[in-house]
Amino acid sequence: MPDLSCDLLGLRLKNPIILASGVIGTSATLLLRAAQAGAGAVSAKSCSFSAREGHSNPVTIDWGHGVLNAIGLSNPGAGKEVHLLTEARRLLDPLGVPLIASIFGGTVEEFGKVASIIARAEPHLIEVNISCPNVGDEFGTPFAATCESAAAVIAAVKAATSIPIAAKLAPNVPNIGRIAAAVVEAGADAITAVNSMPGMVINAQAHKPVLSNRTGGISGPALKPIALRCVSEIANAVDVPIIGTGGVSNGTDAAEMLMAGATAIGVGSAIWYRGVDALGDIAYELQSFMAAEGYADLRALRGLANR
C-alpha cells in the first residue's frame, strides 16, 4: 500500500490528516479521541489571553451545502489552556501524535503574550489565527487582511517563543500569496490555509438571519474550491509547509488538497457529517485512491496541479 507518512517541520506524521482547530479540540480526552480515530496530528481549539464565552445560540447551521458557524471563539483563556495542552501531550506522546496549539488576540501585543503562556505546555506547533478582528484598528479589520498587520502579529509571536509557528490565513483577501510571503518573511515556519469564509443564511419565513450573530464562517464542501485556490496560490508564492484546510470530506478531496500543494490536510467539518472516525476513514480513502491511481507516496501527489 502507498506510504502516507509525511514530515511537517521535522515532525513525523503517520498520515497527513490533521484535526483542524475549533472542531472537537476542547479537552485533552477529545484530542486523544481524535488521535485514536486515526489523525496524524491534532489541533486544540483557539485560545485567547482572557476567557471568552462566545456567542449565544443558535451558533451553527448545516445549510445544505456546508456548515455556517459563529461560535465566537469561546475558550477558557490561555492560563487554563496550558493545563489542557499539558495533559493532552501526556496522553498523545505515547501514540506519537503531535499536538498543535492555536492562539488569537485582539492586538499584536496580545498575540505575543498568549504565545509565551501557551509555550509552557510545549506543543509541537503553534497555529496563529490572524483572521480575528484587530481591535486596535478603527474599523476592526482582521489581521490577515493586510501584509503589514499579518506580518506584525507573526513577528510578535516569533519573538515570544522558539516553538515553530504556522500562520492561519483568511480566504477573503485580494492576494493571499502576497500575505503568505509577508508572514513567512516575518518568521512563519508554515501556513495553514484557510480559515472559514464569511457568509450569512437567512430564514425567509422569519425574514431574519438564522444565526444570533447574523453572520458566520462557511466551512464544509462549499469552501473546498476556495481553499484549493488559496493553497495553490500560496504554494506558488512561498516555500514552506502548508496545512491545507477547507472542505475536505473524503479521500479524493484530500488528494486534491495535496495536488494543490499542501503538505498536510486539516479536517474539520467532515466530523460534523461523518463523526470523529472520519479522520481515519479519510486517511484510508486517500491511501485507496493512491493505490488505484499508482501513487507510491505523498510526494508523488504534492503540487501536481501546479505544474
Q: Which residues are catalytic?
A: 132
Query: Is 154 in contact with 143 (CB distance < 8 Å)?
Result: no
47 Cβ neighbours under 8 A, 6+ residues apart: 75, 76, 77, 78, 81, 101, 102, 103, 104, 114, 118
Kindly report the number of other CB atoms within 10 A of residue 301's CB atom.
Answer: 24
Q: CA-CA distance, 49 to 39, in Å (whole number)?
A: 28
Q: What would the DSSP string read from start to end of 57-115?
A: SP-EEE-SSSEEE-----B--HHHHHHHHHHHHHHHGGGT--EEEEE--SSHHHHHHHH
206 Cβ neighbours under 8 A, 6+ residues apart: none
Q: Which amino acid is at 245?
A: T
Size (the chain), residues = 307
CA distances from 149 to 107, 133, 134, 198 (A): 10, 11, 9, 20
